[in-house]
Amino acid sequence: MHKNLIDCSYELTNTRKYVLKAVQKDGMELFYASDKLKNNKKIVLEAVKNNGFSLQYAPPELQNDPEIVLNAIINVAGAIIYASEYLQYSYDFLLNCVKCNSECFRYIPVNYQKDEVIAFEAIKKWFDGLLYIDDTLRNNKEFILKIFDIYNNPYYKNKIIKYISEELKNDKYFIIKIMEYLDTIKDVSDQLKDDEEIIFLAIQRNAISLLYASERIKNDKKIILDFIKRSSYFSLQNLISPLRDDIDVITELIKKSSFNLFFASEHIRNDKNTMLKLININGGCLQFASKELRNDYVIVSESVKDNNDFLQYATIQFQKDKKKMIRLLENKNLSLRDISEVLNMDMEIQWKSRFHFKLISNMKFDINFFFNNF
């Protein structure tokens, strides 16, 4: 059985073959090796390959050996702190280190964290390297744009802006330039969140950006109405302000999609006069009216006036109400196709449908009833 070096005699800790096997199993065993074997490059190399932190037990000469140190860093980034001062300040060596293990970037001297080439090499493979870049790079437009270009994942693109300087977060033209990469403007400056052009462009990219606009913009009816008219992406869902219940705002939005009414208050969806006005513009609004109004003849008849398909949004109770269906057949020229299955075989309903010339050819009729009445 192979014992740990701490439990071995000096003779074993000075036996090359035994120590080599020990450090291959646990690199930190190098600490118990004899001074002679700590100076053996092969043994130290095997030790750092197993555990990079074992570099701390190597003699200064081997802590200055690029091959030894690089293998230690490949194993664990933090091992670079045990490299010789010479290697820690060697530009070419540090560049090679971050290429092999990007995370060692956090441990290199601050002066080298300012270097654009070294920083870029680190961040290419290790996104969190942005935490350790120097302020000069956070304010470097070209450098930040290069970072945007190398990360295709939207998750990372949206995080990059968190690491740029406050100056760039407030640079309108730079923000416009990177807008194509961003899902929201959550992390831009407060000043730009109050900029109408920025907010509009952000909404075009993602309607949820309206949530991050300034209170001034979210409460300015003229601005909101202008956004709605100019953008097909605007949604009432993202308007968190008193304007959410503004009839003019809702009217403009339902011209684009009746679904916007889903986010209006119950007060709006339960007000008969308001709903009549909205349904007159878009009959599909019936779908989002209150249950009471979806059972109201005036409301439903207005909805189906231009599109009989909207009858499906009336309550089941309404659709099974024979009197109401007959009134719709008489006044709105519905066909049996639009009537519920329960009623579309009703003789009186069939008669009214035939009378208004909306009978569908493939419907089944009582032949005796047909001839008796024609």
Residue with tokens 């011209």: 255
Which residues, at least 6 apart from 155, have a Cβ–Cβ distance to it below 8 Å? none
pLDDT at position 324 is 82
Per the model's pLDDT, the better-predicted residue between 80 and 344 turns out to be 80
C-alpha–C-alpha distance, residues 137 and 263, integer Å? 44
Is residue 123 one of the residues assigned to a domain?
Answer: no
Please check the confidence at residue 364 and state whether its pLDDT lies above 80: no
Cβ atoms of 188 and 194 within 8 Å: the answer is: no
pLDDT at position 94 is 96
Range in 5-19, 61-75, 90-104, 357-371 the model is least confident about: 357-371
Domain that holds residue 209: 152-245
C-alpha–C-alpha distance, residues 347 and 333, integer Å? 17
**Mean pLDDT computed over 264-277:** 94
pLDDT at position 348 is 52
C-alpha–C-alpha distance, residues 267 and 246, integer Å? 11
For residue 270, what are its two tokens?
């339960």
Give the burial class of 177: count Cβ atoms within 10 A of its Cβ; 0-12 exposed, 13-18 middle, 19 or more buried. middle
Q: Please state the length of the chain.
A: 374
C-alpha–C-alpha distance, residues 169 and 326, integer Å? 64
Give me the amino acid identity at 269. R
For residue 230, what are its two tokens?
């100019």
Q: How far is CA 123 from CA 120, 131, 165, 168, 349, in A?
A: 5, 10, 17, 19, 73
Task: State pLDDT tens for residues 282-304.
Answer: 999 999 999 999 999 999 999 98
For residue 26, what are its two tokens?
């646990």
Give the burial class of 67: count Cβ atoms within 10 A of its Cβ; 0-12 exposed, 13-18 middle, 19 or more buried. exposed
Per the model's pLDDT, the better-predicted residue between 241 and 342 turns out to be 241
Is residue 36 one of the residues assigned to a domain?
Answer: no
Please check the confidence at residue 356 and state whether its pLDDT lies above 50: no
Is residue 137 one of the residues assigned to a domain?
Answer: no
Task: State pLDDT tens for residues 170-217.
Answer: 999 999 999 988 888 999 999 999 999 999 999 988 888 999 999 999
C-alpha–C-alpha distance, residues 66 and 91, integer Å? 12
Q: For the chain, what percent of residues have pLDDT higher than 70? A: 84
Q: How many domains does the chain have?
A: 1
Cβ atoms of 143 and 117 within 8 Å: the answer is: no
C-alpha–C-alpha distance, residues 132 and 109, integer Å? 11
**Mean pLDDT computed over 45-61:** 95
Neighbours of 103 (CB within 10 A): 19
Cβ atoms of 218 and 249 within 8 Å: the answer is: no
Is residue 267 one of the residues assigned to a domain?
Answer: no
pLDDT at position 13 is 66
Please check the confidence at residue 342 and state whether its pLDDT lies above 80: no
Sign of CA dihedral 131, 117, 125, 105: negative
Across all residues in the chain, what is the average pLDDT? 86
Q: What is the pTM of this model?
A: 0.72
C-alpha–C-alpha distance, residues 106 and 141, integer Å? 22
Long-range contacts of 217-225 (CB under 8 A, 24+ apart): 217/193, 218/243, 219/243, 221/246, 221/248, 221/249, 223/196, 224/249, 225/249, 225/252
pLDDT at position 369 is 41
Sign of CA dihedral 326, 328, 333, 339: negative
Cα 247 to its chain centre, rounded Å, is: 31
C-alpha–C-alpha distance, residues 237 and 348, integer Å? 45
Which residues, at least 6 apart from 366, have a Cβ–Cβ distance to it below 8 Å? 347, 350
